[in-house]
């Protein structure tokens, strides 16, 4: 399979960013009008927050997962795979990290193609064979090539701020029941967070399909990724619930989401595993008849 630009993904990215931009302009206007910080203060605070999120989101993601970068001497075979697949994807080789956890998963992080990291868990290395692992690594490289990590980081920027206002504003409001400005700020921030949350989820699900197809194009073996997804799904049932809860916050970055109940399935960052495997099987048939 040849790598091709997915204009459906580009279009969805553009529409989502446009809608989020309009939503955030309204939100920023509300903050300026309803607080004593003023427009300069809001811009300074937003600027600092965006700087930290853009330049340090990769380190934060790795730290939250307990993932540590490994050298070629420590993991020679894993590095050889990433090196070879990066060349096939026409990408600079990303850094490689491993998280010591039973949960079999992988994710990519980094603000651009030259500053990226591919991380896998020790549980994943124990679960998959070589071809399956290559399929998973190629999926993460496809995210990097499509600049998904950067787009999702930017898209979630003010959503994160809105969530912080809701979370901490509730505590301040709890100490002062006669503080209507705080309650109004909480209500508006909650609305902004919910709308942006749903828009980002819709974009996130489609980008997983595109990354799956990108992995098939990189490896020429869509069946390997389909097999990996089934192996990961089967392994999840044997992972302690404590480990699953600890890592559920990172769902948007994972190759396979950690769902938690009915709400978790509705708000999932990933499409159903069955549909992903069905599409990979269709790609396999395309290759067989080409």
- Do 146 and 138 meet the contact criterion of CB atoms below 8 Å apart? no
* Tokens coding 278: 């069905």
Report the distance separating Cα 275 and Cα 209, nearest Å.
9
Taking CA atoms, 205 is separated from 164, 199, 257, 273, in Å, by: 24, 10, 11, 11
Report the distance separating Cα 236 and Cα 28, nearest Å.
41
* Nearest-5° Cα angle at 236, 239 to 229: 150
Annotated catalytic, 140? yes
* Catalytic option among 140, 208, 246, 286: 140
Cβ neighbour number for residue 224 with a 10 Å cutoff = 24
Give pairs for 119-123: CB < 8 Å, separation 24+. Answer: 119/62, 119/65, 119/67, 120/78, 122/98, 123/235, 123/239
CA-closest candidate to residue 140, choices 105, 176, 114: 105
- 187 Cβ contact partners less than 8 Å away, ≥ 6 residues apart: none
CA-closest candidate to residue 233, choices 138, 143, 108, 128: 128
- 276 Cβ contact partners less than 8 Å away, ≥ 6 residues apart: 208, 209, 212, 226, 229, 270
**Residues with catalytic function:** 140
């Amino acid at each position: 399979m040849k790598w091709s630009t997915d204009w459906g993904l580009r279009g969805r990215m553009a529409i989502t960013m446009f809608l989020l931009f309009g939503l955030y302009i309204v939100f920023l206007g509300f903050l300026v009008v309803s607080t004593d910080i003023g427009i300069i203060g809001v811009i300074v605070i937003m600027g600092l927050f965006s700087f930290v999120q853009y330049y340090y989101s990769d380190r934060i993601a790795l730290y939250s997962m307990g993932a540590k970068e490994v050298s070629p001497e420590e993991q020679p075979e894993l590095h050889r795979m990433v090196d070879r697949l990066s060349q096939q994807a026409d990408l600079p080789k990303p850094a490689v990290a491993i998280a010591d956890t039973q949960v079999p998963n992988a994710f990519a992080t980094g603000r651009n193609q030259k500053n990226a990291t591919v991380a896998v868990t020790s549980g994943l290395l124990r679960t998959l064979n070589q071809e399956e692992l290559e399929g998973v690594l190629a999926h993460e490289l496809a995210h990097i090539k499509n600049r998904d990590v950067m787009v999702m980081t930017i898209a979630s920027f003010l959503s994160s701020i809105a969530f912080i206002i809701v979370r901490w504003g509730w505590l301040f409001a709890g100490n002062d029941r006669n503080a209507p400005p705080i309650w109004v700020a909480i209500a508006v921030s909650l609305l902004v967070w919910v709308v942006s949350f749903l828009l980002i989820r819709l974009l996130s699900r489609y980008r997983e399909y595109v990354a799956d197809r990108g992995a098939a194009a990189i490896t020429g073996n869509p069946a390997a990724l389909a097999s990996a997804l089934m192996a990961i799904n089967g392994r999840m049932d044997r992972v302690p619930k404590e480990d699953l809860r600890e890592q559920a916050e990172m769902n948007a970055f994972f190759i396979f989401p950690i769902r938690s109940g009915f709400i978790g399935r509705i708000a999932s960052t990933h499409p159903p595993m069955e549909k992903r495997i069905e599409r990979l099987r269709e790609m396999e048939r395309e290759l067989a008849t080409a």
